[in-house]
Structure 1
Amino acid sequence: MDQRTELLLKLDILKEFYTEEIETISEYFSIHKFFDLQVIMPQTGQDSSFGIILSGEVSISDDKIENSSRTKGDILGEMAFIHGFRSDFIAASDGAIAIMTFDDIEKLKLKHPYLAVKLVDFVTHNLVNNLRKNDKKDNTEILVLLADDHLFSDLINLIKDHLHIINKFSIFTSEKLKIILEKNTNLTISQVIEPQSLILGETAIGHQILLDQVKAIMYLRDPVKVESNPASVEALSRLCDLQQVLFATNLLTANAIFQYLE
């Protein structure tokens, strides 16, 4: 049994994994020592790794997190799974961390698909639990309203028909639609999101979906046209399926959802 396996087996957080599974997973982790005040896992713009602290203490530079200290067994960088970026991590003592890149996860998936899914599920659940601990927003459910440019008028008419239902929710939409909707429907917009990056990024809605805060998403679109951004919509659709969030891309389905919400 190599050193990586021995170190990971000492972590209580991995108790749901069998010894044989940890032996396999350890092959895809790399062990890195760090020193007091050292920046750990420096940001790369689009971050692509996560780590598990093996020893020592690390501080997270994020004002939104009440307890920014992380110690042995805690995971760092899991926010990159949905945001594509994360906070700065500064060592508060000497220690060591086991790091796995997303490329390593892909390699694991090729040889051991079940184990890769189990690992990602484990890290994601840890992320959701941390988000719930630090979430300070109100409990009003979110309704996301988006549309391709040439379908703006259809969305406006849809909203007018169901305004009595929509007003019960916090509304998320794009910057362009925010201006149009507030002018034409007197709708109050709670937050602006970027439709070209629906899951990844600061203005995305990935973590709200994981927190079960999103009730439904209406994204009127023409799948034939380039502006519909099929890759982002496909990723959003899969996340909605996973979290059982209502998702409509056409008027027929959108009207059916509003009937259900009523």
Structure 2
Amino acid sequence: MNIALIAHDKKKKDIIQFAKSYHTILSKHQLFATGTTGKQISESSGLSITRYQSGPLGGDQQIGAKIAAEEMDMVIFFRDPLTAQPHEPDISALLRLCDVHQIPVATNLAGADIMIKALDHEDFEWRTIIEENRKQE
């Protein structure tokens, strides 16, 4: 699976710890991240990550393009809900694309923990269900 890892500045330590904790699971997948987040995760965990621009410089939009092209399967985005973000429209657009294209997205540790454990147990069947619904329409 293609998994995007994104974190606001005040959440970078959390996503690094998350990546280290779930190294074994994440290492089985293709990982993508915005600039600084990807660099810090890679340096701290040794995981191989394709990096895009930082979020404010277009990284969120680059990941959004992968979602729109149906080339992204999951997004883990540790957001900081208490700090205003100058690129909030880009963040909203990214989350909207996840909804439009039925991409699972977690915006906090609790949701990410559930998603990654389901991934480890191969409990994700949403693409099959969506395809079956399209055939019935």
TM-score (norm. length: structure 2): 0.77
Shift in alpha-carbon separation, 1:218–1:228, aligned structure 2, 3 A = farther
1:179 deviates by 2.6
Of residues 100, 108, 111, the one that matches 1:253 is: 111
Aligned residue number for residue 227 of structure 1? 85
Q: Does 1:186 align with 2:46?
A: yes
3-state SS, counterpart of residue 187 of structure 1: coil
User: Contact 1:216–1:247 at 8 Å: present in 2 too?
Assistant: yes
Q: C-alpha distance in 2, partners of 1:193/1:182?
A: 15
Aligned residue number for residue 27 of structure 2? 167
3-state SS, counterpart of residue 239 of structure 1: helix
Q: C-alpha distance in 2, partners of 1:244/1:169?
A: 19
3-state SS, counterpart of residue 28 of structure 2: coil
Counterpart of 1:164 in structure 2: which amino acid?
T
Higher strand fraction: Structure 1 or Structure 2?
Answer: 1
Structure 1 runs, 4 residues or longer, greater than 3 Å off: none
3-state SS, counterpart of residue 205 of structure 1: helix
Shift in alpha-carbon separation, 1:178–1:206, aligned structure 2, 3 A = closer
Q: C-alpha distance in 2, partners of 1:157/1:246?
A: 21
Of residues 36, 48, 51, the one that matches 1:176 is: 36
User: Contact 1:222–1:228 at 8 Å: present in 2 too?
Assistant: no
Shift in alpha-carbon separation, 1:176–1:194, aligned structure 2, 3 A = closer
Q: Which runs of 5+ in 1 are unaligned?
A: 1-140
TM-score (norm. length: structure 1): 0.42
1:228 deviates by 7.1
Q: C-alpha distance in 1, partners of 2:23/2:14?
A: 14
User: Contact 2:4–2:76 at 8 Å: present in 1 too?
Assistant: yes
Q: C-alpha distance in 1, partners of 2:114/2:19?
A: 13
Residues 223-244 of structure 1: per-residue CA shift (max 9 Å, x gap): 2212374322111111101100
Q: C-alpha distance in 2, partners of 1:224/1:231?
A: 16
3-state SS, counterpart of residue 49 of structure 2: coil
Q: C-alpha distance in 2, partners of 1:228/1:145?
A: 19
Higher-RCO chain (CA-CA 8 Å, sequence separation at least 6): 2
User: Contact 1:142–1:169 at 8 Å: present in 2 too?
Assistant: yes
Shift in alpha-carbon separation, 1:219–1:250, aligned structure 2, 3 A = same
Match runs of 1:20-31 below 5 Å: none
Q: C-alpha distance in 2, partners of 1:244/1:224?
A: 27
Aligned residue number for residue 93 of structure 1? none
Match runs of 1:44-55 below 5 Å: none
Aligned residue number for residue 73 of structure 2? 215
Counterpart of 1:192 in structure 2: which amino acid?
Y
1:151 deviates by 1.3
- Greater Cα radius of gyration, structure 1 or 2: 1
Counterpart of 1:151 in structure 2: which amino acid?
K
Counterpart of 1:252 in structure 2: which amino acid?
A
